[in-house]
Structure 1
Amino acid sequence: MSIRMENTAIAVRDLDETIAFFEALGLEVAGRDEVSGQWAETAVGLDGNHAKIALLQTPGGQGSVELFEYIHPRAIETAPTQPHEIGMHSLAFSVPDLDAALAAVEPLGGHPLRGVADYEGVYRLTYLRGPSGILVMLAQDLRRNP
């Protein structure tokens, strides 16, 4: 059997705010839509499913994130995921310049959870919170981008 990863989907409070955050990191909007109707209810398993969605891609399209802002049923608030909790954990991105990436998302509320770490001189990396509490890991490969 052949299988290919398509995207990771995340429900968010504010679609536009979340798009702005990921655009600041360099992702590009590949498409936006509003979905509802029988097919959407069946596919997702929610009666009355109605959501605004956006698909964002890394440059070159090798990775993508699908964002949903639910109109109906109302989104259910949850506590932000902690790094040691079981379940959906984080989105991870390689960036050529970690300091530049952090500077780009800082005005949008993106701050390292505890600073920037150096992993054996190979990676500089950090975890930060994005909109809706999304946990994002950013890493700079020092072998390619010193």
Structure 2
Amino acid sequence: MSIKLENVGVAVRDLEAAIAFFTDLGLKLLGRDTVSGEWADTAVGLDGNHANIAMLQTPDGNGRLELFEYIHPDAIETEPTRPNEIGMHRVAFSVDDIDEALKIAARHGCHPLRGVATYEDVYKLTYLRGPSGIIVMLAQELKKN
């Protein structure tokens, strides 16, 4: 059996704001749709499932991010995930210029949780709060192998 990662899905409160944030960082919007119907109810496990979705892709074509904004049932607001909580809590991106990426994030009101760290002169990295409280990790490789 073979397996490959298809995408990471994230529910957001404001689809347009999330698309703007991730496309400004460099992801490409592949498409948008509205999903509903029996197939969506069955696949997702929610009766009356109805959502607006957008699929984005990294420039290298290897990573995809699916964003979805619920129309029905109502989206449930939760406290933002903390880095040490069990479960899925972040999406990570490699960037060529972390300072430029942070300037782009700041234009969307998104800032590092604490600051930018350097890991063993190999990476500069940070966690920040993206749209809808999503934790986004940005990492710039300092040394190429």
The code of the aligned residue for 1:14 comes to D
Name the counterpart of 1:59: 59
Q: State the Cα distance separating 1:110 from its structure 2 match.
A: 1.3
Using the TM superposition, give the Cα deviation of residue 60 of structure 1 relative to its aligned residue in structure 2, in angstroms: 2.6
The code of the aligned residue for 2:39 comes to W
For residues 40-55 of structure 1, the aligned pairs below 5 Å read: 40-55=40-55
CA shift for structure 1 position 61? 1.4
Return the letter of the residue paired with 2:2. Answer: S
Aligned-pair distance for 1:120? 1.1
**How many correspondences in the alignment?**
144
Counterparts of 1:59 and 1:42 in 2: how far apart (Å)? 32
The 3-state SS of whatever aligns with 1:127 is strand
CA distance in 2, matches of 1:62, 1:8: 12
**1:38 maps to which residue?**
38
Paired residue for 1:17? Answer: 17
1:135 Cα shift? Answer: 0.2
Q: How does 1:130-141 map to 2 (within 5 A)?
A: 130-141=130-141
What is the percentage of aligned positions where both structures have the same residue? 69
Deviation above 6 Å: which 4+ runs of structure 1?
none
Any gaps of 5 or more consecutive residues in structure 2? none
Distance 2:23 2:98 in 1: 15
Please give the alpha-carbon distance, in whole angstroms, between the structure 1 residues aligned to 2:75 and 2:86. Answer: 21
Unaligned runs of 5+ in 1: none
1:74 paired residue number: 74
Normalising by structure 1, report the TM-score.
0.97
TM-score of the pair, normalised by structure 2: 0.97
Q: Secondary structure in 1 aligned to 2:86?
A: coil
What secondary structure does 1:112 align onto?
coil
